C-alpha cells in the first residue's frame, strides 16, 4: 500500500502554496518545520514561515481591560525559532523566483513510509535557461533534534554558473493576524541573539527569550557534492552579526548537477543545561553517521509505526489516503518526553499559538493508547509534571483542595484570557482523568497508576468535590461551568461535565481500591493525606450526580437553562457568517439554542452507559438540528455516535467531512496548521465508530458494522501488550494475535481466547 501524498502544479499558486506549507510540513514530535519554499515566497504571497520546538515558549503580555482578581494577564506562546530552511539559488546571478520566469513543472511529495518530503521543480528564468531542482527534507525520528535538507540543482539547457546560498537567520518573528482569535494578534520580537559564531565548521547561534528566560541553540553544518557538476565548485561559510551564509558556487555544464546537504540541530534549555555544548555534541554524532544512516533509520522507525498502527479501508482509496495522512500528522505531533504535549495544530503551524488543550487527551491520545501506548504515557507524564501548577491554578480560583488543569497552556500555567469559555471549562480535569483510566484499561500499567496516575485522578476528583454540592433533593450539582460547546457558557449542570465528573469521582476510588488490593496504595495515601471519609464522599457524589432529563422531549438537556432559550435562526443566517464566533458577539450566541460542537452527544460516546439507546437517539436528532460544527472537533464525534446508534448514512457523511478536513481545507483555516484533534477523531470514527471497538473494565470488544461502500476494513491494535490484527467485511470479522502474550477479546458478543499466531473468524450476528 502506497502511503504518499502529492501536489502538482504547472504554475505558481499563492493560495495552494499557503495550504501546502501545512500539508508538507516536517515534524517529529520535537521539531516542526513548515513546508515553506526554501527560497522564500514572492512578495505579497501569504506565508507562515516557521520552525518550532515543542514545549519552547516565551511569555507574552495579555492585558485585561478590567483586571479583576486573578485574571490571566499574560500567556505562553510557541516561538518561531532560527530560520535554517532558507536556501537560495542563482543562475548566472539571477535568483530563482516562482513569480517570475516560467514554472514548467512543480511537484511536492509527502512520503509517509520514508518520512520525508520532496520538492521537484523545473523552472525557466527570463533568459530561457532551465534548471531542475530536487529538494528533500526530513525531521528525524531517530534523533529528534535533527532536521536535514538535501538540495540538488541540474542545468537542463545551458552552461553557466550556479550559486546556492544556505542561510542561518537568527532574526525571526511569529506570524500574526489580529482579525482571527485563533492566532496571535501581533508580531513581536521574542528572542534575542546572545552569540553567533563559526565553530568546528558549523554556524552556531544561541538565543534567549525575552521573558521566560529560555535558551535555544541552532547548529548548522553543510557538505557539498560536486561529483556530477561537469565543472568545478567551491563552498565557504561566512558568519555575520545576525546570520550565517554558506555559499556554494559551481560552473555547471549542460546536464551537470551539484548538491548541497544541510544538517541542522536544535537544542533548548527546557531539556538541556548547556544548549550549545549539547548541540555541538549532537552535531558531531550526526556528521559521523551521515545522511544515509538517518534515512535508513527513518524508514525503520516508520516500518514499526505502520506495523503497530496499520489501517486500510478497501472501497474508498481517497478516503483511505486521507486517513493515513491524518495518522501520520498525529505521529509528527507526538512528544517523546515529559516536557511537552500535543498542540491543537501539532507542529504544523502557529494556530492557537502552540497551546495544549483538552484535545490532546480526549481526541488524540486514544489513537496512541491503542497503537503506541508509550507515546500516550509521555503525554500523561507531561500532565503529571504540571500537576503542581494545576494545584496553584485551583487555589487562585478559590478552591481549598484539588487541582485544575489550565484550559490552554504550554508550560503548565493558564493562558486563556477569556475565562468564560476557557478556565470555566472544568471538564478538562475529567478529560485528563478519563485518559488516565483508558490508558490503564488498555495497557494494564499499574506501575504508572501507582506512581502518577492515581494522584492525578484524586486531585481532579477533589476539585469536583470542592466545586459541586448536594442540593435539597440530594443531587450532586455543579454550577457555573462551561461544557465542550463554546456557544453556551457559564451554565449550571452541563450534562457532559456532570457525566465526566461522575466518571472521574468513581474511578478515583475504583483505582485506589485496585492499588489497595495489590498492596500499592501507601505512597499516594500518605502523599495526599487521603482519608476513607474523603473516598466515601467521592463515591457518594458520583452516585448522586445530577444528569438532566427532559420528560417532555425525552432528551438530555445540555444544561439547566438550555431548553428555555429560543432556537437560533439558522434559516436566515447567511452562509458567509459561519463560523458564528467570527460574526456574532458571544452574549448573542449564549442566549440561543445553538451549538458550536458536540457536547451532550460527545458524552454518549465517552459515557454511553449513562443513558438508554432510545434517549440517546432522540437527543442525537435534537442536537443534530442545532449544531453548526463550527468546531473541527464536532463532525467526527457525530459520526461515532451515529454509527453506534445505527444511523449508518449520517455516520458516513459526518466521517467524510472529518477525514478530508485538512487535505481539502474544509474549514478554510488549515493554512494556519493541521487540526490534530479532528485527525484523532477521524481515527476514532473508524475504530470506535464503524469497527465499534470498546476497551473498558470488561476488556476488549469489537463488533464492526461497515459503511455500505467499504469492502473491508483492516487495522492493528495494541491491547495489554499484544498486537492484534483485525479484518472486517460485511459478513464477519477475523482476528489474529501477531505478537505478545495470550489474550481474550469479545467479537460480536462472543468470548475468544487467542494465542500468538492464532486466528479466529466470527460471523456477524
| Residue ranges per structural domain of the chain | 4-304, 310-690
> What whole-number distance in Å separates Cα of residue 87 and Cα of residue 66?
47
Q: What angle do helix axes 676-684 and 648-659 make, rounded to 10 degrees? A: 150
* HSE-up of residue 191 (Cα within 13 Å, Cβ side): 30
pLDDT at 228: 76
pLDDT at 177: 66
Contact 220, 147 (CB under 8 A): no
> What whole-number distance in Å separates Cα of residue 339 and Cα of residue 272?
11
DSSP state of 685: I
Which is catalytic among the residues 350, 459, 486, 650? 486
> What whole-number distance in Å separates Cα of residue 225 and Cα of residue 376?
42
Residue of 540, 339, 358 whose CA lies nearest to 433: 358
Reported CATH class of domain 310-690: mainly alpha
- What CA dihedral angle connects 225, 228, 231 and 234, to 10 degrees? -10
Beta strands in 358-487 (DSSP E): 469-470, 476-477
pLDDT at 229: 79
Backbone phi, psi, residue 729, to 5°: -130, -165
> What whole-number distance in Å separates Cα of residue 376 and Cα of residue 315?
31
CATH no. of 4-304: 2.70.98.40
DSSP state of 96: P
Planar angle of CA 94, 95, 98, nearest 5 degrees: 125
Active site residue 705: no
For the chain, which ranges sit under pLDDT 50? none
pLDDT at 183: 55
pLDDT at 105: 94
Residue of 350, 375, 327 whose CA lies nearest to 110: 327
Amino acid at each position: 500500500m502506497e502511503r504518499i501524498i502529492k501536489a502538482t502544479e504547472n504554475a505558481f499558486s499563492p493560495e495552494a502554496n499557503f495550504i501546502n506549507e501545512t500539508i508538507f510540513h516536517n515534524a517529529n514530535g520535537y521539531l516542526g518545520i513548515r513546508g515553506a519554499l526554501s527560497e522564500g515566497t514572492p512578495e505579497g504571497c501569504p506565508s507562515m514561515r516557521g520552525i518550532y520546538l515543542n514545549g519552547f515558549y516565551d511569555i507574552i503580555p495579555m492585558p485585561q481591560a478590567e483586571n479583576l482578581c486573578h485574571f490571566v494577564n499574560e500567556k505562553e506562546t510557541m516561538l518561531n525559532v532560527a530560520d535554517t530552511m532558507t536556501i537560495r539559488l542563482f543562475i548566472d546571478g539571477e535568483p530563482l523566483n516562482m513569480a517570475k520566469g516560467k514554472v514548467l513543472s512543480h511537484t511536492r511529495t509527502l512520503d509517509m513510509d520514508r518520512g520525508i518530503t520532496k520538492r521537484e521543480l523545473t523552472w525557466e528564468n527570463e533568459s530561457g535557461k532551465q534548471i531542475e531542482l530536487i529538494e528533500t527534507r526530513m525531521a528525524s525520528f531517530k534523533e529528534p533534534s535533527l532536521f536535514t535538507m538535501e538540495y540538488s540543482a541540474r542545468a537542463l539547457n545551458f552552461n553557466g554558473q550556479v550559486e546556492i546560498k544556505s542561510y542561518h537567520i537568527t532574526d525571526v518573528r511569529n506570524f500574526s493576524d489580529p482579525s482571527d482569535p485563533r492566532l496571535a494578534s501581533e508580531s513581536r520580537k521574542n528572542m534575542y541573539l546572545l552569540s553567533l559564531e563559526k565553530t568546528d565548521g558549523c554556524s552556531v547561534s544561541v538565543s534567549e527569550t525575552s521573558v521566560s528566560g529560555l535558551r535555544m541553540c541552532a547548529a548548522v553544518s553543510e557538505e557539498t557534492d560536486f561529483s556530477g557538476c561537469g565543472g568545478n565548485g567551491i563552498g565557504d561559510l561566512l558568519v555575520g552579526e545576525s546570520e550565517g551564509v554558506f555559499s556554494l558556487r559551481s560552473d555547471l555544464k549542460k546536464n551537470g548537477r551539484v548538491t548541497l546537504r544541510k544538517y541542522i540541530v536544535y537544542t533548548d534549555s527546557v531539556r538541556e543545561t548547556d544548549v550549545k555544548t549539547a548541540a555541538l555534541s549532537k552535531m558531531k554524532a550526526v556528521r559521523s553517521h551521515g545522511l544515509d544512516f538517518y534515512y535508513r533509520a527513518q524508514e525503520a522507525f516508520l516500518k514499526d509505526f505502520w506495523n503497530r498502527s496499520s489501517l486500510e479501508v478497501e472501497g474508498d482509496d481517497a478516503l483511505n489516503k486521507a486517513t493515513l495522512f491524518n495518522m501520520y500528522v498525529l505521529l509528527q505531533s507526538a512528544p517523546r518526553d515529559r516536557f511537552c504535549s500535543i498542540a491543537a495544530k501539532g507542529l504544523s503551524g502557529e494556530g492557537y499559538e502552540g497551546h495544549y488543550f483538552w484535545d490532546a487527551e480526549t481526541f488524540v491520545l486514544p489513537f496512541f493508547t491503542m497503537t503506541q501506548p508509550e507515546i500516550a504515557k509521555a503525554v500523561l507524564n507531561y500532565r503529571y509534571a504540571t500537576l503542581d501548577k494545576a494545584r496553584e491554578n485551583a487555589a487562585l480560583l478559590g478552591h481549598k483542595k484539588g487541582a485544575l488543569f489550565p484550559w490552554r497552556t504550554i508550560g503548565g500555567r493558564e493562558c486563556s484570557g477569556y475565562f468564560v469559555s476557557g478556565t470555566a471549562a472544568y471538564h478538562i480535569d475529567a478529560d485528563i482523568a478519563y485518559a488516565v483510566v483508558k490508558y490503564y484499561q488498555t495497557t494494564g500499567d499499574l506501575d504508572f497508576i501507582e506512581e502518577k496516575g492515581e494522584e492525578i485522578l484524586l486531585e481532579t476528583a477533589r476539585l469536583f468535590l470542592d466545586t459541586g454540592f448536594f442540593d435539597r433533593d440530594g443531587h450532586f450539582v455543579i454550577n457555573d461551568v462551561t461544557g465542550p460547546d463554546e456557544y453556551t457558557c457559564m451554565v449550571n449542570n452541563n450534562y457532559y461535565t456532570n457525566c465526566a465528573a461522575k466518571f472521574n469521582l468513581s474511578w478515583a476510588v475504583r483505582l485506589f481500591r485496585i492499588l489497595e488490593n495489590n498492596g500499592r496504595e501507601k505512597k499516594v495515601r500518605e502523599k495526599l493525606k487521603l482519608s476513607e471519609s474523603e473516598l466515601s464522599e467521592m463515591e457518594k457524589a458520583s452516585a448522586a450526580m445530577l444528569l438532566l432529563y427532559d420528560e417532555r422531549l425525552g432528551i438530555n438537556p445540555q444544561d439547566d437553562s438550555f431548553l428555555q432559550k429560543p432556537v437560533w435562526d439558522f434559516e436566515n443566517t447567511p452562509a458567509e457568517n459561519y463560523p458564528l464566533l467570527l460574526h456574532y458577539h458571544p452574549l448573542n450566541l449564549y442566549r440561543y439554542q445553538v451549538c458550536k460542537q458536540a457536547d451532550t452527544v460527545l458524552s454518549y460516546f465517552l459515557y454511553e452507559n449513562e443513558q438508554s439507546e432510545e434517549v440517546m437517539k432522540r437527543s442525537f436528532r435534537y442536537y443534530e438540528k442545532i449544531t453548526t460544527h463550527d468546531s473541527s472537533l464536532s463532525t467526527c464525534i457525530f459520526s461515532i455516535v451515529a454509527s453506534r446508534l445505527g444511523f449508518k448514512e449520517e455516520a458516513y457523511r459526518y466521517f467524510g467531512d472529518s477525514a478530508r478536513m485538512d487535505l481539502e481545507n474544509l474549514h478554510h483555516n488549515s493554512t494556519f496548521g493541521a487540526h490534530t484533534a479532528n485527525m484523532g477523531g477521524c481515527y476514532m470514527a473508524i475504530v470506535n465508530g464503524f469497527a465499534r471497538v470498546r476497551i473498558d473494565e470488561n476488556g476488549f470488544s469489537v463488533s464492526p458494522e461497515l459503511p455500505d461502500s467499504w469492502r473491508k476494513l483492516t487495522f492493528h491494535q495494541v491491547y495489554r501488550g499484544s498486537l492484534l490484527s483485525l479484518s472486517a467485511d460485511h459478513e464477519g470479522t477475523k482476528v489474529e494475535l501477531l505478537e505478545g502474550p495470550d489474550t481474550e477479546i469479545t467479537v460480536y458478543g462472543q468470548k475468544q481466547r487467542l494465542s500468538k499466531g492464532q486466528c479466529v473468524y466470527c460471523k456477524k450476528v
